[in-house]
Chains A and B, each alone.
Chain A
Amino acid sequence: MTDLHWLPEMPDWRARLRGLADRPGSVWDNAVSLAGARINFVLTNALDETLRRSMSAPPEGVATKPVRLAVLGSSTLTHLLPAIRVAGLRRGIWIDTYENDFGQYWQELSDPASALHAFKPTAVLLALDSHDLTAGVTAAMDIETANAALSEVTERIRATWRLARETLGCPILHQAALPVHLPILGNNEHRAAGSRAAFLTRLNARLRVMAEEEGVDILAIDDRAARDGLRAWHDAGLWHRAKQEVSHAAGPVYGDLVGRWVAAKQGRSFKCLVLDLDNTVWGGVIGDDGMEGIELGQGSPLGEAYAAFQTYARELSRRGVILAVCSKNDEANAIEPFEKHPDMVLRRGDISSFVANWSDKAGNIRAIAEELNIGLDSLVFIDDNPFERNLVRQELPMVAVPEVSDDPAAFPIALADAGYFEGLSVTDEDRERTSQYRGNKARDALKASVTDLPAYLRGLEMRLIWKPFDRVGLQRIVQLINKSNQFNLTTRRYTDEDVIAVMADPEAFGLQLRLLDRFGDNGVIAIAVGRLQENKDLLIDTWLMSCRVLGRQVEPTTLNLIAQKAGKLGARRLVGEYIPTKKNGMVRDHYTKLGFTAMETGPSGGSRAVLDLASYQPASTFIHVTEG
């Protein structure tokens, strides 16, 4: 099957469609949003019909040019028209369509009084079916007769293009023939001069040469069907029943292929690919795993898959797509593999804008667009982490964010299938683009961004489930304590026995925290260990957290819990300790940010800070806390 797999599912899609007409002022914007979901042909038709009931013309003030597309063909194409219109909608482009009377495209082109001319198309799609194109071709033909038949068909198509250009004066998109015919000879089908299958293969090759001569663009459904499998595109039974060559199920993808062309013609293809790093460009977390620990390149299938994704991104950049990086990391850690890792395919010089810090990604993506001086609507952002994807989708709906699994082998496929970077040609300028950006752009420090983060966090419905250390969690607790480097205040490493000792100590507590949200279970993401001192201070011996959940208010929520547990042990103050390492610079000011008072700073940069429990007011957050 073939579907819009790179688009996200939208659980309340049907309810939103039903409510589309209720808010007359935002029908168009809401329809564009609904078109951005993964919908099949039935829902595509439903969206098209619902929108057209509310609006019969493009809304005023839309930045894109409306398109009047004449779809001309020799068989039934009616079922594909809603998908073409919705594909325009997905790109914010209003498309009106016209379909010729069955089989009458040549007559209508020739007759200035025809309905086709009255429609005044601004673009033409010529979609000839493979039965029509091979009419009369038979295995009884010898090579000369078959060649003559091929010339006749190609010249007829050339004449149609010229007639359309002369009479309508608009750009032409020609659909390649769908290879629906079955072989009669086998592997060496090309030797059967009159084979209809071989005829279509030759025709499609010839069409591309001729399209170059005539300035026509090709709709490559033959290539697409080769990747999806012909059966995803063509149903012989449906052809016999209704003379529909492209099946309904393939409609949304067919429409999207046309929509890409329409957008590319208006210069509205995406221009820049923004890459997350950890678990997107390499396997693992560079800040924790280090250069030796990340998975990349030969040695593991996963490492090879990441390298293959990098290769695809580099190939895109070599034909003119700009590459950028947006990563939650210390900048020095993030850059190191680009400069020193032997298996990195992408190098620092391939990246035109490199942003690695701990701010939220929506704000950072805004900064990337600003630095590169391109519109946010020309950015594609790829990230393995569903939290980041959804944050960016919500904050920056104009940025394309492909839905991907955690399998890097699927990343290049998602980008290719989505066709974000649809181009009509490759110029010398395209091939040099990256070096232009590289030369011009300095990496400015990022400006503070204005993202409505609270609204997003509230909508996440986060739940933090805490438990004292226990045997069940032992393995994960020890793993986290020994693996976390970045968000780790003291970097004290514990063995199994050390953790078990904390469980048994009445003057100490160990907390394991699990975070859930509406997108799923993030697992145990933070650990804290507190020890009561003789002077009734509670020393926070260990506090660490997975960087995946940064910026989600887990820190103040954890402090609330620590304060509560400390109070139960009879503590009067909390004492927080920071021991600097090469990797934990991000938490240097952790305690003062949470309202602690700095107490002392050691010669190596370590520090202590205190919090008086009597006057401590628990922070209010969007996280609901329960004991698990």
Chain B
Amino acid sequence: MATEAEIHAALTTIFNDVFLRDDMILTAELSAKDVQGWDSFKQIEIIMASEEHWKIRFTTRELDALRCVGDLVRTIASKTV
């Protein structure tokens, strides 16, 4: 099972790649309104990149419930048991 720390580290790489940056600092509360350019298109990229990385598939309900990075980390953790 992936620990939350491992998920955090891999997600940081994904966010840096998606937003073309190298200085993203992810916190559990971080959400779309805090990051310039985080629109629904980028949201899908983050989700699909996570699915590819952890070889998982999110359900429609899980995706609808995502509000912040913390939600994403917890959902990934629950699917990589």
A contact residues vs B (CB 8 Å cutoff): 1, 14, 18, 40-43, 45-46, 49-50, 78-79, 235, 237-238, 240-242, 244, 247-249
B contact residues vs A (CB 8 Å cutoff): 14, 17-18, 20, 22, 40-41, 44-45, 48-49, 51-52, 57-60, 63
Across the interface, which residues of A come within 8 angstroms of B48, CB to CB?
41, 238, 247-249
- Inter-chain contact B44/A50, CB cutoff 8 Å: no
Residue of A nearest to B22 (CB): A18
Q: Top 3 closest A-B pairs, CB basis?
A: A248-B48, A42-B17, A42-B49
Whether A237 contacts B60 in the complex (CB less than 8 A), given A40-B49, A40-B52, A42-B49, comes out as yes
For the complex, give the distance between the alpha carbons of A241 and B66 in Å.
Answer: 14
- Inter-chain contact B45/A41, CB cutoff 8 Å: yes
Across the interface, which residues of B come within 8 angstroms of A79, CB to CB?
41, 44
- Inter-chain contact A42/B18, CB cutoff 8 Å: yes
- Inter-chain contact B52/A1, CB cutoff 8 Å: yes
Task: Find A238's partner among B17, B18, B44 (CB 8 Å cutoff).
Answer: B44
For the complex, give the distance between the alpha carbons of A212 and B48 in Å.
Answer: 37
- Inter-chain contact B45/A45, CB cutoff 8 Å: yes
Residue of B nearest to A40 (CB): B52
Across the interface, which residues of A come within 8 angstroms of B45, CB to CB?
41-42, 45, 248
Across the interface, which residues of A come within 8 angstroms of B63, CB to CB?
237, 241
Across the interface, which residues of A come within 8 angstroms of B40, CB to CB?
242
Q: Would you give the shortest CB distance from A154 to chain B, in whole angstroms?
A: 33
Whether A46 contacts B60 in the complex (CB less than 8 A), given A241-B44, A248-B45, comes out as no
- Inter-chain contact B20/A49, CB cutoff 8 Å: yes
For the complex, give the distance between the alpha carbons of A45 and B17 in Å.
Answer: 9
Across the interface, which residues of B come within 8 angstroms of A240, CB to CB?
60
Residue of B nearest to A15 (CB): B22
For the complex, give the distance between the alpha carbons of A43 and B17 in Å.
Answer: 6
Q: Would you give the shortest CB distance from B67 to chain A, in whole angstroms?
A: 16
- Inter-chain contact A249/B52, CB cutoff 8 Å: yes
Task: Find A46's partner among B17, B41, B57, B59 (CB 8 Å cutoff).
Answer: B17
Across the interface, which residues of A come within 8 angstroms of B14, CB to CB?
42
- Other A-B contacts than A46-B17, A248-B44, A248-B45, 8 sampled, CB-CB below 8 A, are A40-B49, A40-B52, A42-B18, A42-B49, A50-B20, A237-B57, A247-B48, A249-B51
Across the interface, which residues of A come within 8 angstroms of B57, CB to CB?
235, 237
For the complex, give the distance between the alpha carbons of A241 and B57 in Å.
Answer: 14
Across the interface, which residues of A come within 8 angstroms of B44, CB to CB?
79, 238, 241-242, 244, 248
For the complex, give the distance between the alpha carbons of A435 and B58 in Å.
Answer: 55
For the complex, give the distance between the alpha carbons of A45 and B16 in Å.
Answer: 12
Q: Which has the most chain B C-beta neighbours within 10 Å: A42, A45, A49, A244?
A: A42
